[in-house]
Amino acid sequence: MNVKKIAVIAGDGIGPEVVNEGIKVMDKMAALDGTIQFEYTYFPWGCEYYLKHGKMMDDDGIDQLASFDAIYLGAVGYPGVPDSVSLRDLLIVIRKEFDQYVNLRPIKLLNGAPCPIHHGSNENINMTFIRENSEGEYSGAGEWLYKGKPEEVVLQTGVFSRKGTERVIRHAFEIANKENKTVTSISKANALNYSMVFWDEVFKEVSKDYPNITTYSYLVDAAAMHMIMDPARFEVVVTSNLFGDILTDVGAALAGGMGLAAGANLNPEKKYPSMFEPVHGSAPDIAGKGVANPLAAIWSVSQMFDFFGYANRGKEILQAIEQIMVEGKVLTPDLGGNARTDEVGDRIVQLLDQ
Ligand SMILES: NC(=O)c1ccc[n+]([C@@H]2O[C@H](COP(=O)([O-])OP(=O)(O)OC[C@H]3O[C@@H](n4cnc5c(N)ncnc54)[C@H](O)[C@@H]3O)[C@@H](O)[C@H]2O)c1
């Protein structure tokens, strides 16, 4: 039996509600498969923990997590705790310390999912976004000078190392190579005259190692427009931390909304645990009402199966998500239904049985 140790950080707001459903699906799929099993350890970290203890996670939190095979995260953030604290002191620490330099976000319009553009279809909206996840514009480097004075100046430094840039671009090419797809790089070299000129150069260099792969390179502003007007242009996409953050929300809107957007933070070498999470936040406006859509959290479970080498199982979970939407009977209010979070999870489990 392949036993995987999973650290569960359910977090705040709707985090625990959607994670519960994801775990139902993990256990069901493990039972159906018969060769894999999950052992869960729950960590109470997040904003509630911060309000009690003055910190988002234990001081030795990273050491505690290091021996796990994966981290399954709900969402963090809650009114009363600044977002800069909740994000930086938990999520970003984990992503950085565990060198989860690939943020893999599928943007795939499943049958039955709502799409805001009339020309959107499951054929033309099918992208794999690879967002650089360890440095770039979110490196946290910078300065705040002369605070509160008239000459106040802030510097927010983008950090693009050769190692960091090359490895994430190479990862995109490796995926495209396996899946016989094109690779698109998104940057902004006309305005960011160091970082993005460098990014484009590294993209060109790495592309030489993959002569059979067709490549495209777009400026981020043009890419935002093309994603809406002509999404079929994009297959495997690689971009920086900030641009990826923004464009994957555009992608989430194209593919059915935040309730369907999943993301994996990967350390591809498996030296450290990778982290799987829905893209959405803690949604304080609907927390505690039992109406959060768990499908994004369940989609990230599908990504976890892929990562553990059970791609067929991951695919079956995705098919169940598609089926529930095609049926249209057991859906949460954000998708036009009136089902509760746990009813959606239960229906997915039933569909896996069929
Ligand atoms: N990865 C994370 O943990 C993460 C990501 C984004 C935001 N946040 C945090 O979450 C808090 C709220 O942020 P926000 O309101 O900007 O974003 P949000 O994603 O929490 O919510 C945005 C809107 O989408 C809806 N929504 C989100 N997920 C949903 C789901 N699964 N089902 C149905 N509706 C859903 C919400 O009700 C809300 O109207 C903030 O504190 C923010 O910092 C955390």
CA 84 to ligand 1 center in whole angstroms: 15
Is 265 close to ligand 1, i.e. is its CB under 6 Å away? no
Ligand 1, atom 8: closest residue by C-alpha: 281
Ligand 1, atom 13: closest residue by C-alpha: 281
CA-based nearest residue to 90, from 63, 56, 59, 62: 56
Is 77 close to ligand 1, i.e. is its CB under 6 Å away? yes
CA 279 to ligand 1 center in whole angstroms: 8
Q: Which residues, given as ranges, of the chain have pLDDT below 50?
A: none
Using the atom order of ligand 1, give the atom closest to the CA of residue 285. Answer: 37
CA 337 to ligand 1 center in whole angstroms: 19
- Which of 57, 280, 291 maximizes ligand 1 atoms within 8 Å of its Cβ, making it the mutation to test the pocket? 280
| Number of neighbouring beta carbons within 10 Å of residue 213 | 17
Is 258 close to ligand 1, i.e. is its CB under 6 Å away? yes
Which distant-in-sequence residues (6+ apart) come within 8 Å of 327 by Cβ? 112
Question: What are the distances in angstroms from CA 90 to CA 116, 161, 210, 256, 340?
Answer: 33, 23, 37, 28, 29
pTM: 0.94
Task: Supply the pLDDT for residue 230.
Answer: 97
Task: Supply the pLDDT for residue 13.
Answer: 96
Please list, residue by residue across 190-203, b when 16 or more beta carbons sit within 10 angstroms of its beta carbon and e when fewer do: eebeebbebbeebb
Ligand 1, atom 28: closest residue by C-alpha: 280
What would the two tokens of residue 72 be? 């399954």
Ligand 1, atom 29: closest residue by C-alpha: 259
Supply the DSSP symbol for 44.
-
SS3 239: strand
Total number of residues shown for the chain? 354
CA 352 to ligand 1 center in whole angstroms: 28
